[in-house]
Structure 1
Amino acid sequence: MVLNVWAHGNKVFNLYKGKPIVAMTCGMGHLGPASISNLAKDLRRKLCTNGDPLLIDPDDYTIGEVAEKALAFFQGRYEAIDPPVGNHGFEFWVGGYGSNCDNAEIWKVSLQSGEWLPLELIANQDQDGHVSFGGQPQAINRLLLGFDPALGDALSELGMPPDAVPGILEQLQARLATPLVHPAMPIQDAINLAEFLVDLTKRYFAFLPNADIVGGATDIATVTKHEGFKWIARKHHYDAALNPRETDHV
């Protein structure tokens, strides 16, 4: 059951200022009384605080190591609250470049109805032309893969043997997938594609019945080998002209 839909949550973070490390969250917007936005900033502080168990060496770290520390941090926070009742999910994606690393990685921290899943490597140098996405995937799945995520369940309910479903879905994806990404595409085109896919999802859910669960302004950031973390589009709850000394808050 949806109780509230907030349109102004922050879901993209530079996890270590000055380093090419980015995080994105989807699913639950808070753990207990603390928003995921505030918790992400707490994690960022721990990653760069001397003596903290979650400290990383800014000159010698991997993205997998950062993801492991993010998992430990959120597990600890989750255990300290009264767990939500019923189905609930939380994802925290950690990506970027490790120190002295030529290739980027993306890892995913996942909570599903009280169970923490093993860390998942979503993308590395082996996934050329790969688009990773989470949250509400229906619209993007239909566009990029050619079918809705619920197709497998529908086929099973229609009588297809369950052990045959994965193979059928794999064949359908091979035939119907839309190749919109090339590993050497310019970064501006990658930005435009990401913005298009987010806008597609927002418009898709805007017309569905029930609560409008995807919406609000879109924050966009890039992480590249040479330029590092850069904000492309972001929202502020304050006017920059009134806060001339403030340069960053996410």
Structure 2
Amino acid sequence: MLPLSNRWWPMTIVVTVKINDGIVLAADSATSFFRDDGNVLKIYNNANKTFNLVKGLSIGALTFGSGGIGSSSISTLTKDLRRRLSGEDPAHLDWKLDPNNYTLESVASRVREFFFEDKFLSAYGDNPPDDFMMGYKLCGYSSGAEQPELWDVPITAEGLVPKIIRDTSSCGANWDGEYEAMDRLFFGLGSNFRLALLNRGLPADQVNEIYLGLASELSAPLIIPAMPIQDAIELARFMVETTIRYVRFNLRSETVGGPIEIAAITKHEGFKWVQRKLFYQSDLNPPAG
């Protein structure tokens, strides 16, 4: 059998649509395993990338990039983190969130501490893989907040700190993983536009100026902050479906695909699944009474 890389990389699409009434999370389910030469060995279409980070609280998460740390999947690790934040891990009772007194910023710090300091450094020590990149999007409401937030918690060898992508006053769509289809749709320019200009001899500062100017003129206004949450859900679904089909008909491996999972987080309803896959039949696995 050809050598298999010890890391798996979901070439994925994860989407958020933030409006006044809440924030929508959506993702595909593809996960790709690569040979050491960089070629795709196998693609599975049942990876979990969308999570309710703390059940009962208005906090969700999306993951992209590396699908695991060491031998543990991000899905399993996220559930371990959920136990800590829910106060169910006896060794980390101080991690339990107070439903009436927490901020998304403090949760983002805990996410980084868990994945980078506890898991990444433990798995790789002083010799981390230079190309490791795991993206983690934290979405939802701080306790008592009127509007949601979107935080980026990158896990890399550099130990980057969390940063806010959309604060309570900012609305719009964000996407990560596979950029090309959405870059063209929203900005009117593909992700290789800058490279094409650089290859024609234009200086980097001029290339960036041209890109930003054209993107501003060509951008498609698809979001109104006051749009209903159902329309935000449909837009998020459209963005994921479009990316899946773009990759499918492109001359490349279908590294985006599988079932689409969607969740919405609103102030009064909290985290609600809109579309979800399960590996078990719910009628055969009733909840414990």
- d(CA) in 2 for partners of 1:153, 1:91: 24
1:28-47 matched pairs, under 5 angstroms: 28-47=66-85
- d(CA) in 2 for partners of 1:14, 1:241: 22
In the alignment, structure 1 segments of 5+ residues that lack a partner are none
Q: Which amino acid aligns with 2:145?
A: C
List per-residue Cα deviations over 1:117-175 (Å, max 9, x = no partner): 231211123323x1111111110111011111221122112111111122211111110
Q: Give how far 1:85 is off.
A: 4.6
- d(CA) in 2 for partners of 1:246, 1:81: 35
In the alignment, structure 1 residue 101 sits paired with structure 2 residue 145: yes
Bigger CA drift: 182-191 or 55-64?
A: 55-64
Identity, in percent, stands at 39
1:1-250 matched pairs, under 5 angstroms: 1=38, 2-49=40-87, 51-75=92-116, 76-82=118-124, 85=129, 87-112=131-156, 114-128=157-171, 130-245=172-287
Whether contact under 8 Å (1:240, 1:246) holds in the other structure is no
From the two aligned structures, give the one with the greater strand fraction: 2
Going from structure 1 to structure 2, the CA distance change for 1:231 and 1:68 (only over 3 Å counts) comes to same
- Runs of 4+ deviating beyond 4 Å: 83-86
Q: Give how far 1:88 is off.
A: 3.6
- d(CA) in 1 for partners of 2:250, 2:102: 44
In the alignment, structure 2 segments of 5+ residues that lack a partner are 1-37
Residue 93 of structure 2 aligns to a residue in which SS?
coil
Q: Give how far 1:17 is off.
A: 0.8
TM-score scaled by length of structure 2: 0.80
Going from structure 1 to structure 2, the CA distance change for 1:72 and 1:86 (only over 3 Å counts) comes to closer
- Number of residue pairs the alignment of both structures matches: 245
Aligned residue for 2:15? none
Q: Which has the higher contact order (CA 8 A, sep 6+)?
A: 2
Going from structure 1 to structure 2, the CA distance change for 1:238 and 1:177 (only over 3 Å counts) comes to same
Whether contact under 8 Å (2:63, 2:135) holds in the other structure is yes
- d(CA) in 1 for partners of 2:104, 2:268: 16
TM-score scaled by length of structure 1: 0.92
Whether contact under 8 Å (2:115, 2:155) holds in the other structure is no
Aligned residue for 2:9? none
Q: Which amino acid aligns with 1:45?
A: R
Q: Which amino acid aligns with 1:181?
A: I
Residue 241 of structure 2 aligns to a residue in which SS?
helix
Bigger CA drift: 118-127 or 90-99?
A: 118-127
